[in-house]
Structure 1
């Protein structure tokens, strides 16, 4: 492993401080409240120093998204490597997704921001590619669990179905649900006091519909979900205080 020079370490430390400060600004004031001038003033650096790390605030936002995505990828790898059946490992992926949202509640707002054309086009190819690679890696990990289930005989897909189609169904359900959960304060008013549990029930129904055995009627996957959150990620279950 190559040892960094003092100058390289200092550069990394400055970049980390910029991202920490930018994250706090986004949380407090949103996209419009984030500015290179404000970052430079808060850090007592010249704007030129800030620009040595990031050419614009859009690049900072994408960097924040990528930092979170790296952590999500690590969590998915941990879930996939769990010593359990394929469907239990898929439950662990659900636990990883839940814990990721708990740890990075602002991610979905940042993710939707950075994907708008006015921001995406101002970011670098390198960081855009990194984001796309992280997403593809997460999808491959989940797809690998699906393929393991097929190999083990726990799942048989119809001729016109692929592992990628099943993964996309889970991905869209998770992303949509957590986007709503992290942005809405009226879910309890519409009868969803524990939306994460509702999401988990819907995911189980989806996998039951594919015929992935054991079915949720024969196995307590919610217990598996709780177990994975605690054992793998040290998290709380949704019905805990």
Structure 2
């Protein structure tokens, strides 16, 4: 059943509040956001704001959840790529890069939210956030297991699929945080293309594990082009329309 006019108006107001909150967080950080400022920005009464959110922590947590869902949507799509497991892991890496490229403000707000509101939001919201994060890790670990099952990867007994996935995730997260912070003059350090440097480093790590096909055995640039064309470009357009 299609939503009623009133439901559409409530949903639009909800998104307007979130958009204003994101802007305030980016400008002033967590302390720069308040329910009073939010009400003034969207020209609603504070009581109306409280009809949507019980406190400012819930506002920030909702923004973080929105971000987590966008990332998860890209990861789920990337994992469907028809290729060998290492190509599918590349697809997830490209999805992460595209998320940063097209939703940089979402990523920055998520970083603010992580340290500020976890202990103050409802258990339900915490479970929703944790579920998205766990699902992203499960996707990556599942691809590693597929690599082992296919014979492309002989994973050492002391390294679990989750640990290998964590190594990839943590390196990406670190680079993304550095890039979005704007606090480092990377070109002066000899890093003109940080995401390319990240991908090269991760490829060397996977080559070190012997995950086939190795980079000198396969045209991963061609795989990347197929990944964009076959599974990611279309869903990216949809996510941008739904989110921005």
TM-score, normalised by the number of residues in structure 2: 0.88
1:111 CA displacement = 2.5
Per-residue deviation, 1:209:
1.2
Q: Does the Cα contact within 8 Å between 2:22 and 2:63 map onto a contact in 1?
A: yes
SS of the residue 1:121 aligns to: helix
2:50 & 2:227 partners in 1: Cα distance? 42
Partner of 2:155: 157
Count of paired positions: 233
What SS does the aligned partner of 1:106 have?
helix
Whether contact under 8 Å (1:94, 1:225) holds in the other structure is no
> Relative to total residues, which structure has the larger helix share, 1 or 2?
2
Change over 3 Å in CA distance of 1:198–1:226 after alignment to 2: farther
CA distance in 2, matches of 1:66, 1:52: 19
Unmatched runs of 5 consecutive residues or more in structure 1: 236-241
Alignment match, 2:165: 167
Contact 1:34 1:57 in 2 (8 A): yes
Query: 2:67, 2:107 within 8 Å by CA — same for their partners in 1?
Result: no
Deviations 1:114-163 (A, max 9, x none): 222x5322212111111110010111111111111111110111122211
* 2:79/2:92 contact within 8 Å kept: yes
Q: Secondary structure at the match of 2:44?
A: coil
Superposition CA RMSD, Å: 1.9
- List aligned pairs for 1:53-68, cutoff 5 A: 53-68=52-67
2:117 and 2:144 mapped to 1: Cα distance? 35
Is the 8 Å Cα contact of residues 86 and 212 (structure 2) preserved in structure 1?
yes
SS of the counterpart of 1:12?
Answer: helix
Name the TM-score, length of structure 1 as normaliser. Answer: 0.89
Structure 2 unmatched runs, 5+: 237-244
> Does the 8 A contact of 2:26 with 2:108 survive in 1?
no
Query: Could you say which residue in structure 2 is the equivalent of 1:238?
Result: none
- 2:34 alignment partner in structure 1: 35
- Corresponding position of 1:87: 86
Structure 2 residue aligned with 1:138: 136
Q: Secondary structure at the match of 1:90?
A: helix
Report deviation, 1:8: 3.5
Contact 1:156 1:211 in 2 (8 A): yes
